[in-house]
């Protein structure tokens, strides 16, 4: 014991002697004070509302809470209802009940692998390509020509590559229901026929007698019949930050962990009927089984299909009815539109973009288990965060700034004495936080000799140590525990004034969500450690709380700066939630979970529950159903919602949210339900993930504009050429163009772009407007070139070139060399378009990645070689001389330059009108009293800079990319690419087809 403490203890002993009570004076009976220690209100046991003589052991009756509340009725009624006793069931009865109630596990469905594979070929884009394959192999027969095997094989290869990637990813995914099931205790100790044995937890049935001890996972929901110093950690189920002491008659939840003591209990519910099982059941209730990106892809696909359909019908009418084409010639023209117009590689290209993005996020310790979540994270407007273990450390701490003292001892002295009265081994959560407050654990026993220690128990609700102080040789005693119990022991300084102050301090702690821990001290006169002391003296009151993580406040500020509103959704009590909100600067405008059922009170400022949810900073005391409902309502208001959590209680909301984020240390259940799993403590990774997802979103948006523009370019261009010149382009060369384009465009996954500063959102009207403008301009470039070659001698006269050795005119519109010219012109300028769609200003002011530049150069070299040497009969192509190649390149450069001007003109006219219309619609919703906030139209950080400020743009991008943490070289091996691959539509009902083992193996 330190000298200052020893002196204060001696002074206290001399100056404060217990007041003797006058035996003559009448005894004044004082009312016992009720200290508002922070804790749960106990629910009084009731009786079952059924005729106990007419009991039938049926699941529908046992779990009907209007008749029977097995969780709260008296324990005697539990045994009567379950028709069992403390000796347990016999094997025959257990088998019978297993048939009635089912196994104590969560069911999961196994998918047929073959049907799952075929499912990836079941979407509109694939249907058209499958139709084109049938046309090539079945309908393309007759007229003394073989089936179109080349086109058929090429199309089938494209389909199988895409389907194989999608199948591989989903097959490896597993599902969250299995993760929830695996987190149940695999074995359980049960009494059968009066004998204790160990069985699989899946074999437990209602009525079984079970036992568990420290370290065990509770295998099923049960009511305790015996409890010896039991403390249960159920934070992963209910979100409560403190382990809960349990006594005989209390309920324990399946999946919770025994932190202290040992207990026996009777099983009241198993499998899907447990608290844990009901949470798992909510996971599968997501009625929005189609992901956000899948919906966007479906709309983009519909745009392409409608465009193709219009011109296919036009060709059928014009070529067959108008030009009287023969059967095979007309089919070849239709195949050109089908093969060239369908962006069949769109899912694959976007999946590569998302996969590389997932690699980048992994560098920031965020493992992506559903890669489509990256796109949705970019558009998230609200982040709902669990508190315990997410915003806070889930580690109890002494709040040094609020320690109350009632005597000559300082706050540090009170903490040291409280540490004396704590275990240093086999600690519970309270002892651990008190001893931890010393910094050096060794101080808890330094300078003293332990003589006797009484650990915490549910009856006394305090700990007590008797020790000898080595410096003075005196025997002393310290106790710490529940305020009401400790103050009853204090005879030396307990006065009306002190009790009033103590009551006010405890109430202040409770209002702030802090748990009060009283500390008292006394000295012993003799040498007997079990002897009476000179009376306890109250010396201090400690405040215990679950502190916020160090980086949480900064993370919340960063999220708000990115346009993402943060709401706390916790299972802990309202006072704790408000205190945490105040400490984080999140706000304390929070509500208890009951308002979600009752709605806003009459006369309040909120007209509806939706309005209240939008206005609230958070909700407290929520159960899984509440978290799920909050997320669902926010989504109903038009918001993309992210949810963070770490426990099984968070799993339903994690699955329902657009982006579920499991924090570091999360349970398997939470990781299985989540889309992104953080692998280091804190939420700072989320800010990196949001920025990274917005970079990836910009890349996907750029590609979408490009893909739609190419569709318009191909179908309109070749339809016009067929109508105007009866030009028949070989279908196989369109397939080659598509392959080279897609190979180049895949490098967009590492392109240099900057994230937007507001949530991203898909504005398809803008994408389609840009696509139509670019597509028609490129169509004009090709039609003009063909018209000049066929109708004039301009190129022949100026550059002395010819076609097929005939000068000055080609023999016909379908000269094989003219096919080569058109192929080269279409291939080169179509790929060059990406440099315009990827930039917001002039294309040369925003430097692309080296990968994109390199792939573009390689593709153009290949295209040029094919044009120069491609004498393949089945392709309908014949090599052209160098003069024509030069003409095509110069022609493309001339037509490429105005594309930037078209982009600026579109922004100033069509796009501006579209955005104004969206803004007016949003403002109209607000005027009409619609809840929520208008979503700002997204633009990248580059686009947000005025377009005239082009000076030093490249260096600005480089500096900003370094600051954000992007721009480094990304290397991916094939295994990693497959691991994060396909983003094709998931099977209906498989909302949580993700397996946490993929995270563990990352």
Which residues are marked as active site?
Answer: 386
User: Which DSSP state fits 647?
Assistant: S
Burial class (CB in 10 A: 0-12, 13-18, 19+), 800: exposed
Burial class (CB in 10 A: 0-12, 13-18, 19+), 15: exposed
Residue 533 near residue 18, CB atoms below 8 Å? no
Residues pairing with 450 in the sheet: 467
Q: How many CB atoms lie within 10 A of CB 267?
A: 29
Nearest to 207, CA basis, from 54, 65, 100, 53: 100
Report how far residue 941's alpha carbon sits from residue 843's, in angstroms, rounded to the nearest whole number: 16
Report how far residue 660's alpha carbon sits from residue 671's, in angstroms, rounded to the nearest whole number: 9
List the alpha helices (DSSP H) in 620-726: 624-636, 651-656, 668-673, 684-725
Residue 709 near residue 906, CB atoms below 8 Å? no
**Structure tokens belonging to residue 536:** 């306890």
The number of angstroms, rounded, from the C-alpha of 507 to the middle of its chain's C-alpha atoms is 38
User: Which DSSP state fits 649?
Assistant: G
> Which H or E run includes 229?
strand 221-233
Residues pairing with 368 in the sheet: 676
Q: Quick check: bond before 808 cis, omega within 30?
A: yes
3-state secondary structure 929-988: CCCCCCCCCCCEHHHHCCCCCCCCHHHHHHHHHHHHCCCCCCCCCHHHHHHCCCCCCCCC
DSSP symbols for 62-84: HT-TTT--TTTB-HHHHHHHHT-
Give just the sign of the alpha carbon dihedral 274, 280, 282, 284.
negative
Radius of gyration of the CA atoms of the chain, in A = 37
Helix (H, G, I), strand (E, B) or coil at 139: helix
Report how far residue 950's alpha carbon sits from residue 940's, in angstroms, rounded to the nearest whole number: 15
Report how far residue 362's alpha carbon sits from residue 370's, in angstroms, rounded to the nearest whole number: 13
From start to end of 470-579, where are the E strands?
Answer: 475-481, 515-524, 537-545, 565-569
Residues pairing with 221 in the sheet: 269
Which residue is it, tokens 């109708």? 791
- Determine the Cα angle at 666 with ends 102 and 591, to 5°: 90
> Which H or E run includes 237?
helix 235-238
**Structure tokens belonging to residue 33:** 């004070």
Residue 674 near residue 545, CB atoms below 8 Å? no
């Amino acid at each position: 014991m330190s000298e200052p403490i020893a002196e204060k203890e001696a002074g206290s002993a001399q100056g404060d002697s217990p007041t003797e009570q006058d035996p003559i004076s009448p005894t004044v009976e004082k009312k016992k004070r009720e200290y508002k220690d922070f804790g749960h209100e106990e629910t009084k046991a009731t009786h079952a509302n059924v005729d106990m003589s007419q009991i039938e052991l049926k699941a529908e009756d046992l779990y009907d809470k209007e008749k029977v509340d097995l969780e709260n009725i008296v324990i005697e009624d539990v045994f009567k209802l379950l028709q069992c006793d403390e000796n347990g069931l016999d094997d025959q009865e257990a088998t019978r009940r297993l048939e009635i109630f089912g196994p104590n596990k969560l069911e999961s469905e196994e998918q047929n692998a073959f049907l799952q594979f075929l499912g990836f070929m079941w979407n509109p884009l694939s249907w058209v390509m499958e139709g084109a394959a049938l046309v090539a192999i079945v309908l393309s027969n007759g007229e003394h020509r073989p089936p179109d095997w080349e086109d058929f094989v090429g199309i089938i290869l494209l389909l199988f590559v895409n389907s194989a990637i999608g199948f591989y990813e989903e097959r490896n995914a597993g599902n969250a229901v299995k993760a929830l099931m695996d987190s149940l205790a695999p074995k359980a100790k049960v009494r059968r026929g009066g004998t204790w044995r160990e069985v699989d937890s899946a074999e437990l049935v209602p009525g079984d007698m079970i036992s568990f001890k420290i370290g065990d996972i509770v295998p099923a929901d049960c009511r305790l019949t015996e409890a010896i110093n039991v403390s249960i950690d159920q934070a992963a189920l209910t979100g409560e930050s403190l382990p809960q002491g349990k006594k005989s008659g209390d309920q324990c939840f399946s999946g919770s962990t025994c932190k202290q003591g040992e207990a026996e209990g009777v099983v009241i519910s198993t499998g899907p009927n447990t608290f844990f099982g009901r949470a798992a059941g909510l996971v599968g209730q997501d009625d929005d089984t189609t992901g956000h990106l899948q919906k966007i892809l479906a709309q983009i696909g519909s745009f392409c299909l409608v465009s193709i359909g219009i011109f296919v019908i036009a060709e059928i009418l014009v070529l067959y009815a108008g030009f009287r084409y023969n059967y095979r010639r007309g089919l070849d023209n239709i195949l050109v539109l089908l093969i060239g117009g369908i962006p069949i590689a769109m899912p694959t290209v976007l999946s590569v973009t998302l996969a590389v993005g997932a690699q980048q996020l992994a560098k920031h310790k965020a493992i992506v288990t559903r890669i489509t979540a990256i796109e949705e994270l970019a558009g998230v407007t609200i982040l709902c965060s669990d508190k315990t273990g997410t915003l806070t450390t889930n580690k109890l701490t002494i709040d040094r700034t609020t320690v109350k003292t009632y005597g000559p001892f300082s706050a540090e002295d009170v903490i040291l004495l409280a540490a004396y009265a704590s275990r240093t081994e086999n600690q519970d959560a309270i002892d651990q936080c008190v001893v931890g407050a010393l910094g050096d654990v060794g101080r808890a026993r330094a300078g003293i000799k332990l003589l006797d220690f009484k650990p915490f128990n549910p009856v006394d609700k305090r700990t007590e140590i008797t020790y000898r102080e080595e410096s003075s040789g005196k025997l002393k005693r310290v106790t710490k525990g529940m305020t009401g119990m400790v103050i009853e022991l204090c005879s030396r300084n307990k006065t009306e004034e002190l009790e009033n102050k103590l009551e006010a301090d405890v109430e202040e702690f409770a209002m702030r969500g802090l748990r009060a821990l009283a500390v008292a001290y006394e000295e012993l006169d003799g040498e007997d450690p079990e002897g009476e002391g000179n009376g306890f003296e109250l010396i201090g009151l400690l405040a215990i709380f679950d502190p916020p993580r160090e980086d949480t406040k900064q993370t919340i500020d960063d999220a708000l700066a990115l346009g993402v509103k943060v709401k706390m959704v916790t299972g802990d009590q309202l006072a704790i939630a408000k205190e945490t909100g105040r400490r984080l600067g999140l706000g304390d405008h929070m509500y208890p979970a009951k308002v979600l059922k009752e709605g806003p009170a009459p006369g309040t400022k909120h007209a509806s529950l939706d309005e209240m949810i939008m206005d609230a900073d958070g909700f407290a005391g929520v159960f899984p159903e509440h978290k799920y409902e909050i997320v669902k309502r926010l989504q109903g208001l038009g918001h993309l919602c992210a949810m963070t959590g770490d426990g099984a209680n968070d799993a339903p909301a994690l699955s329902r949210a657009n982006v579920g984020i499991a924090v570091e240390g999360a349970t398997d259940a939470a990781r299985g339900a989540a889309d992104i799993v953080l692998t280091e403590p804190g939420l700072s990774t989320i800010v990196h993930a949001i920025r990274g997802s917005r970079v990836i979103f910009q890349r996907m948006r750029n590609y979408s504009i490009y893909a739609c523009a190419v569709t318009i370019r191909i179908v309109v261009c070749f339809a016009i050429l067929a109508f105007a010149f009866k030009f028949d382009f070989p279908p196989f060369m369109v397939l080659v163009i598509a392959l080279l384009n897609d190979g180049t465009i895949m490098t967009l996954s590492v392109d240099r772009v900057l994230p937007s500063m507001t949530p991203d959102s898909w504005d398809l009207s803008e994408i389609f407007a840009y696509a139509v403008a670019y597509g028609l301009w490129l169509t004009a470039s090709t039609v003009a070139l063909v018209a000049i070659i066929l109708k004039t001698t301009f190129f022949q006269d100026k550059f002395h070139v010819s076609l097929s050795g005939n000068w000055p005119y080609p023999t016909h519109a379908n000269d094989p060399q003219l096919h080569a010219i058109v192929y080269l012109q279409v291939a080169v300028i179509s790929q060059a378009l990406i440099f315009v769609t990827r930039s917001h200003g002039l294309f040369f002011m925003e430097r692309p990645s080296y990968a994109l530049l390199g792939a573009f150069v390689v593709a153009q070299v290949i295209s040029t070689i094919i044009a120069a040497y491609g004498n393949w009969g089945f392709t309908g192509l014949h090599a052209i001389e160098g003069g024509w190649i030069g003409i095509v390149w110069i022609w493309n450069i001339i037509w490429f330059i105005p594309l930037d001007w078209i982009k600026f003109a579109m922004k100033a006219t069509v796009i501006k009108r579209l955005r104004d219309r969206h803004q007016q619609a949003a403002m109209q919703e607000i005027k009409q009293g619609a809840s929520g906030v208008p979503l700002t139209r997204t633009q990248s950080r580059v686009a947000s800079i005025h377009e005239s400020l082009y000076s030093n743009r490249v260096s600005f991008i480089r500096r900003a990319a370094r600051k954000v943490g992007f721009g480094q070289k990304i290397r991916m091996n094939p295994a990693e690419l497959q691991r994060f691959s396909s983003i094709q539509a998931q099977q209906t009902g498989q909302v949580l087809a993700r397996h946490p083992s993929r995270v563990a193996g990352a």
